[in-house]
Amino acid sequence: MGIDVKQLREDFKEPHDLVNTSDGITLFLRKWESQSPSNKAILILHGITAYSGPYEPFGKAISRAGFTAVGLDLRGHGLSDGNRGDYPSKERLISDLVETISYLKKQFSTLLLFGHSLGVLTALITKKNSNEKIDGLILMSAGKTFNPGVYKKPSVLQKLKILVSSIFQPSKPVINYYREGISGLDDPLFNFKYTLRFMRLASFQDLDLSEEIDCPVILGVGEHDEIFSIESAQSLLDEILSKDKTFFVMPGAKHAVEFTEEIFKDLKSWLIAKF
């Protein structure tokens, strides 16, 4: 059963903003406002299947640290418009991200990006393509390669069905996303079905890391992350060209990080030191 995104958005009473894109859809921005007046913000870019809502503990922690946290629901996710589990093209993804940054820079002079899992990819894409000044990158729960056995490989027949569907109905989600320990199964705003063209966008293999990043970068991974090993996360950071890089391991944390004060303390120290 489908969800009425527009009605849910109209019913949402907590702080939020809406971005009207150049192709006429609405993107939803959830906000956790700083407890004291601030011109600093952190844009949260969510992982695959998710949306901004589950990042509320992190958003609240950020607001207590003197930043306004803003969570973007990607097109086709959460309370944003768009075909569920789909993105029409990489160019449209880039445009959505760049237009969101331009919108936020009118409100905040200092803007950092926080990317979790898939959000690490979108954060790096945003930094590469935006002409606006982005002051820092916070990258969480990502690495160069997956842990062995995390995802079950589709059969030849399943691959053929996906390929045929993507040719004749490219906007139809046909790929079931599942792994052991996945969260959000009881939340109707999570996506668990995607189009082939979306999944092709969601790959680190085509990510160009050849340009130097002119801002501080911090990358963290959970001690017990089910998808990426500590070594894989460190390898990703090693490939990022930046003169100011920090790596840390979140004790006891899994891929879907629960932002306790203990886990947040290293990131908070970094934010205080840099901003």
Contact predicate 59/44, CB 8 Å? yes
Cα 257 from Cα 116, distance rounded (Å): 9
Our CA angle for 79, 11, 188, nearest 5°, is 45
pLDDT of residue 15: 96
| pLDDT at site 1 | 54
Which residues are paired to 28 by β-bridges? 18
Cβ 154 vs Cβ 85: under 8 Å = no
Beta bridge pairs of residue 112: 42, 136
| Helix ranges restricted to H, the chain | 5-11, 56-64, 90-105, 118-129, 156-168, 196-201, 230-239, 261-274
Comparing C-alpha atoms, which of 149, 94, 116, 147 is closest to residue 46? 116
Secondary structure of residue 5 in the 3-state scheme: helix
Count up the domains in the chain and report the number.
1
Instruction: Determine how β-strand 26-32 pairs with β-strand 40-45.
Output: unpaired
Distances (CA, A) of 171 to 15, 161, 195, 235, 248: 32, 14, 6, 34, 39
Indicate which CATH number applies to the domain containing 104: 3.40.50.1820
- Report the run of H or E that residue 115 belongs to, with start and end: strand 110-116
Q: What tokens were used for 234?
A: 């460190």
Q: Tell me the residue range of the domain where 219 lies.
A: 5-274
Instruction: Give the containing element (helix H, strand E) for 29.
Output: strand 26-32
Rounded CA-CA distance 49/183 in Å is 9
Q: Answer left, alpha or beta for residue 72, where phi above 0 means left and psi between -120 and 50 means alpha.
A: beta
What tens-digit pLDDT sequence spans the chain (275 residues)? 578 999 999 999 999 999 999 999 999 999 999 988 889 999 999 999 999 999 999 999 999 999 999 999 999 999 999 999 999 999 999 999 999 999 999 999 999 999 999 999 999 999 999 999 999 999 999 998 899 888 888 888 989 999 998 899 999 999 999 887 788 889 999 999 999 999 998 877 778 889 999 999 999 999 999 999 999 999 999 999 999 999 999 999 999 988 888 888 899 999 999 99
Q: Residue 178: what pLDDT?
A: 84
Whole-Å CA distances, 45 to 33, 81, 188: 17, 16, 19
DSSP conformation class of 81: -
Write out the two tokens for 210. 């050849």
